[in-house]
Structure 1
Amino acid sequence: MTNDLMTKKYILKPGKHQFAPGSAAVHSNHNTSDAEAEWYLEKYPHIVSLFAFPASKVETSEKEDEVEVKKAKKTKGVISLTSSSGGEGSL
């Protein structure tokens, strides 16, 4: 069981959870595969709060966000090379 949780991409917080509105709270780590979790997350994105993501995945996500911020800062001062006479992409 513990080894299964180590390899799962989507780990539910303890207890049983309801994914779809009007359905029973029957989902747990014992009966929900990563493929099912992905399907439900696509259909019901609000359920992301029911999942606990391992620290390594969160750290990776935060690092990716930092890279995006740095890229945005570098390109912030870029101006259009189109003339200011109204061409597409002008300021």
Structure 2
Amino acid sequence: MARTTADEPSEDLVASAKQERAARRNPFGRIALFIRQVFAELRKVVTPTRKELFSYTAVVLVFVVIMMAIVTGLDYGFGWLISWVFGDGQFTG
């Protein structure tokens, strides 16, 4: 997968991190730096619109139903095959 500029942290964030690292702050200072960086990254998050959210939800639900149908079909198919091979040839489900 190709990297994009959205995958890379902003230049000011990198510069401030290097500056803070050079200063070698105490543990509380490092925790504060971490929290500031977390908030800076959270500002970049784009929330989906209502329409996109319903669309994504529908896609996931349809995918789950299709996968359930496939697994159910395989379960019955293998059950019938095992019953036929090792049993009396009649599968009762």
Name the TM-score, length of structure 2 as normaliser.
Answer: 0.35
Q: Which has the higher contact order (CA 8 A, sep 6+)?
A: 1
Which of the pair is proportionally richer in helix?
Answer: 2
